[in-house]
A and B are shown apart, each in its own frame.
Chain A
């Protein structure tokens, strides 16, 4: 492979890949995402390879091992193109039958989706309830891509946005487009990406950095890994475009040390992009240079926080710094450093290729585009969901999620993990919108949505999240370390039936001060779950405190969340 030296060479090369592929040829996509992998999908993939191998060179059918398809609940997932026939809970023994049927253009009825109540079948992706209510702009390509092969990404139009940015747009125009699209950060805060880019761009200094935050430490969140592992080039392309807009020549990917598959895919993506001249010196002959390094987290939650992450990249312990000066002005080695989440970067290529106007047409007034949601807890269909901003939560929980198992009622939905909040089921018509949900006290956070049924004990939910954060706080500042320690003690006492008079006031005071006085956002937002509980479920807290030492039966959502 020679380097691509211009946009024209890229298009020519792409045309070659597409021409060599027969769009009508069936392709069996076996999911190797985290959940399916855990269900031994590697053996399923091997069975398909063996089966197709038996057919010889002109099998008329190929096997592709891909990233997460989304419907984790029903893995191992297999999708057979070109018409996307979905098979669920596929076992290695099923491979011969699926291969034989596919060759006959038939369907293996027993492995397709059947509605749990009506038994009604759904064969194609567009008919399966879990998928049919989604808009899968970001995650949809996962089914068509072998993440280890850049050609698969190129075949779908990959890096065309980069070429467009480099050759048809100035850095300012790229920035403008992202600003007009009103892309907001997907990592937790919902901060406008364009505004952050602009700050870094205008900050004094020649050396600037761009960073992908792929730490994803929030328990119950798994969408960043699904997207990045399944389609690494999409994120990388976004990063390169951002670097061009900001004027950065050095990028970092900060990711989990404990996800070998993700690391392999990232490293392969970087190597292949560099080989093709899409990364490194003089990208596509444009004169723009950009390199990327991979850094690994140290396995603690707070290292996903921007200032801690940057210290970690510097090689120091990931302790947050006060941010009276923003990291986009003085970040890594005190140089302007623009950090965005995996999903934020992944949105960039489509904004450039399809335009801000198209993008801003999706979503609500203040929240644009689609959002990935990790759906888990007491819900029939857990998995990675992608819907337009503004989608009512009811649609996510019931139409896509299939509702609550065991015919139970929903009690609450919780967004944002240990730094988010719970809202009661009667507010389930609220839209998926940064501002609306923040107002209700359940900020979207990174997008982990935990559904809780009527048996859930809300004191224990708050206790579970606090217990997690107590172990993850760096311990530097008092209201975080001590505030959480004492809050956890009070909550634990309540769940043990040892609640005391004044506990509500104690919780309120502790929580208020933790929320106001902590150094970093971990501490400040650690108070959010309990705040939402005291807002919507205070009665339950009071009843439990009053109940004294009686035994009681509820269960923790923490144990329901996988």
Chain B
């Protein structure tokens, strides 16, 4: 197959994103993580593919490679999609370093849309890491549509999170941490202070 004009070889079971990364071609992602099942939610990894004369826009983290596929990781339209997505997310997390860096690259204006500083961009990394790698399901999505949020489940969090907290480092905005501490304050307040005192 071809990516950005280069001939690239890939295994049958790879996605376009994997093939590109193997060949050292960069595609931006927000919800992707090597240890997790592809999620396809942030849509930052969209690329243009052409197969049998038809042009399509697909998410590279899910799209399977195919013989003779022609992929373009940058184009006016791809860049526009990424720019608007970034502008939408910056309304929630205007200072996330990851988003700010990408915004510079794609000329996204962080003040384009009305702010709603909820910080979480719902990439689902914490939720999926907890479910797929740790298999604890201590944090999950609640509600749907524009009301969707992540939420720690106090009963599970009280048992499992204290010694783990691995998801914090995955979060692009530090919101996972904030949500966890709120849960702590609600479900098992005092433990941190007691823990410090005992140390």
Contact B57 A470 (CB under 8 A): no
Selected interface stretch from A154-162, A509-517, A535-543: A509-517
Question: Which residues of B sit under 8 angstroms from A483, Cβ to Cβ?
Answer: 84, 88
CA distance A470 to B148 in the complex (A): 11
Partner of B144 from the list A473, A513, A518 (CB cut-off 8 Å) is A473
Contact with A along B32-69 (1 / 0, CB 8 A): 00000000111100100000000001110011100000
* Alpha-carbon distance A358/B40, docked complex (angstroms): 45
Q: Is the interface of A mostly helix, strand, loop or mixed?
A: helix
Q: Which residues of B contact A475 (CB under 8 A)?
A: 122, 141, 143-148
In the complex, the answer to whether A479 meets B144 with C-beta atoms within 8 Å is no
Report B64 CB to chain A, min CB distance, Å. 6
In the bound assembly, the distance between CA atoms of A479 and B84 in angstroms comes to 8
0 or 1 for each of A453-493: is its CB under 8 Å from B? (1 = yes): 00000000000000000111111111101111110010000
- On whether the beta carbons of A485 and B146 are closer than 8 Å, the reply is yes
Instruction: State the CA gap A215–B125 with chains docked (Å).
Output: 32
A300 within 8 A of B: yes
Instruction: Categorize the interface residue count of chain A.
Output: 20 to 34
CA distance A470 to B10 in the complex (A): 39
Which residue from A478, A513, A518 sits with its C-beta under 8 Å from B121? A478
Residue of B nearest to A509 (CB): B84
Contact A324 B58 (CB under 8 A): yes
In Å, the complex CA distance between A134 and B112 comes to 51
The one of B43, B113, B147 that contacts A489, using a Cβ cutoff of 8 Å: B113
CA distance A542 to B192 in the complex (A): 56
Flag if B89 contacts A482 (CB, 8 Å).
yes
Q: How far is the CA of A516 from the CA of B47 in the complex (A)?
A: 11
Q: How far is the CB of B175 from chain A (nearest CB, A)?
A: 15
Q: Do residues B85 and A474 form an inter-chain contact, with CB atoms below 8 A?
A: no
Contact B43 A477 (CB under 8 A): yes
Query: B14: CB under 8 A from chain A?
Result: no
For chain B, the bracket of interface size reads 20 to 34
With both beta carbons as reference points, the residue of chain B lying nearest to A472 in the complex is identified as B145
Interface positions, chain A 488-513, Cβ under 8 Å from B, are: 489, 506, 509-510, 512-513
The yes or no answer to B134 lying at the interface (CB within 8 A) is no
Bound CA span A100–B92, Å: 71
Task: Enumerate chain B residues within 8 angstroms of A189, measured Cβ to Cβ.
Answer: none
Closest to B15 in A: A324
Which residue of the partner chain B has the closest CB to A505? B112
Contact A473 B145 (CB under 8 A): yes
B160 partner residues in chain A, CB cutoff 8 A: none
Q: Which residues of B contact A509 (CB under 8 A)?
A: 80, 84
- Choose one: A470, A506, A512; the contact of B112 (CB below 8 Å): A506
Given A322, A479, A481, A506, which contacts B145 in the complex, CB threshold below 8 Å? Answer: A481
Which B100-141 residues have C-beta < 8 A from chain A?
112-114, 116, 121-122, 124, 141
In the bound complex, how far is the Cα of B77 from the Cα of A499, in angstroms?
27
A-B contact pairs, 20 of them (CB 8 A): A322-B40, A322-B62, A471-B145, A471-B146, A472-B144, A473-B145, A475-B141, A476-B124, A476-B148, A477-B40, A477-B41, A478-B42, A478-B89, A481-B148, A482-B92, A483-B88, A485-B146, A489-B114, A513-B80, A519-B59
Not counting A470-B146, A474-B148, A478-B41, a sample of 9 additional A-B residue pairs whose C-beta atoms are within 8 angstroms of each other reads A470-B145, A475-B122, A475-B145, A476-B122, A478-B43, A479-B81, A482-B91, A513-B81, A517-B85
A positions within 8 Å CB-CB of B: 300, 322, 324, 470-479, 481-486, 489, 506, 509-510, 512-513, 516-519
Q: Which 9 A-B pairs have the closest CB atoms?
A: A475-B148, A482-B88, A513-B84, A473-B145, A485-B146, A517-B43, A486-B113, A475-B145, A475-B144
